[in-house]
């Protein structure tokens, strides 16, 4: 990976966070407005001890990948962000959470703020997305992820599953975060394939479903 030089010990320490940072950037780019003027990268817990620059470059690489394609790499991401008018800020947080180490990235487009947060999971230090717009979730950041909000009422999970089933899309994993009963739920599904246009239209046209995003990782 092209990145500023690090000694071997620091490189080993940082490597899992590079994977997490890039995944966070990829997810955020696909759920935020196409034009953003500011990106804030926050390091929390044990991650506050990391050298910020390589991790921020990994976040930027993921975030700018859709816009810049194969041209983006860890060497040119900062100049590319500058050319797009994207201000990049790095902060450290002492906030206590359920996680020993975490990264949080927010994209700002005028007054609109979109955010994702992640941590490293298990002894294998696997990336996990654990926050979307401050709501707790658990997303395995691989393959195809369907993210949506839906009315929290009996039968909704089955209803969504039926729409995907008719489209012959298999659900590999699901995470559900409920607001107070009867409100809205944030539903996250890892899928084996991208739903066809007809299934996506059915989901988006459903009055009980909103904010439908297909995230490709």
Q: State how far the alpha carbon of 123 is from the alpha carbons of 13, 49, 120, 126, 127, in Å.
A: 13, 19, 9, 8, 11
* Residues in Cβ contact with 40 at an 8 Å cutoff, skipping those fewer than 6 apart: 89, 90, 91, 105, 106, 108
| pLDDT value at 1 more than 50 | no
Q: How far is the C-alpha of 45 from the C-alpha of 100, rounded, in Å?
A: 5
Q: How far is the C-alpha of 28 from the C-alpha of 160, rounded, in Å?
A: 23
Q: State how far the alpha carbon of 21 is from the alpha carbons of 15, 28, 126, 177, in Å.
A: 10, 11, 12, 23
pTM: 0.91
Q: How confident is the model at residue 70 (pLDDT cuts 50, 70, 90)?
A: confident
- Can you give the pLDDT at residue 183? 82
- Whether the CB-CB separation of 93 and 32 falls below 8 Å is answered with no
Domains of the chain, by residue range, sit at: 8-139, 144-216
- Can you give the pLDDT at residue 97? 86
Interval 88-108: pLDDT, tens: 999 999 888 889 899 999 999
Q: How confident is the model at residue 170 (pLDDT cuts 50, 70, 90)?
A: very high
Q: Superfamily for 144-216?
A: ACT domain (3.30.70.260)
Strands ordered across the beta sheet of 135-139: 87-93, 38-45, 101-109, 112-121, 126-132, 135-139
Among 122, 58, 124, which residue's Cα sits nearest to residue 88? 58
- The residue-averaged pLDDT of 63-74 equals 85
The pair of three-digit structure tokens given for residue 186, joined into one six-digit string: 């944030």
Name the more confident of 45 and 175. 45
| pLDDT value at 4 more than 70 | no
Q: How far is the C-alpha of 205 from the C-alpha of 195, rounded, in Å?
A: 15
Q: How far is the C-alpha of 202 from the C-alpha of 205, rounded, in Å?
A: 5
Question: For the structural domain made of 8-139, what CATH number should be given?
Answer: 3.30.1330.90
């Amino acid at each position: 990976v092209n990145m500023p030089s690090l000694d071997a010990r620091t490189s080993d320490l940082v490597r899992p966070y590079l994977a997490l940072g890039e995944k966070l950037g990829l997810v955020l780019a696909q759920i935020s407005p196409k034009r953003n003027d500011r990106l804030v990268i926050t390091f929390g817990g044990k991650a506050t001890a990391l050298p910020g620059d390589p991790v921020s470059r990994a976040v930027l690489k993921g975030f700018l990948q859709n816009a810049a394609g194969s041209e983006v790499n860890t060497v040119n991401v900062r100049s590319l962000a500058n050319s797009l008018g994207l201000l990049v800020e790095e902060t450290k947080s002492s906030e206590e959470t359920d996680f020993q180490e975490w990264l949080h990235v927010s994209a700002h487009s005028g007054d609109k703020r979109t955010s994702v947060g992640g941590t490293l999971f298990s002894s294998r230090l696997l990336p996990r997305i654990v926050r979307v717009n401050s709501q707790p979730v658990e997303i395995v950041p691989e393959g195809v992820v369907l993210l949506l909000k839906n009315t929290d009422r009996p039968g909704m999970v089955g209803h969504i599953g039926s729409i995907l089933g008719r489209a012959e899309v298999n659900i590999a994993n699901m995470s559900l975060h409920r607001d107070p009963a009867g409100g809205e739920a944030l539903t996250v599904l890892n899928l084996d394939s991208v739903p066809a246009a007809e299934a996506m239209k059915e989901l988006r046209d459903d009055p009980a479903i909103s904010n439908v995003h297909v995230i490709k990782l």
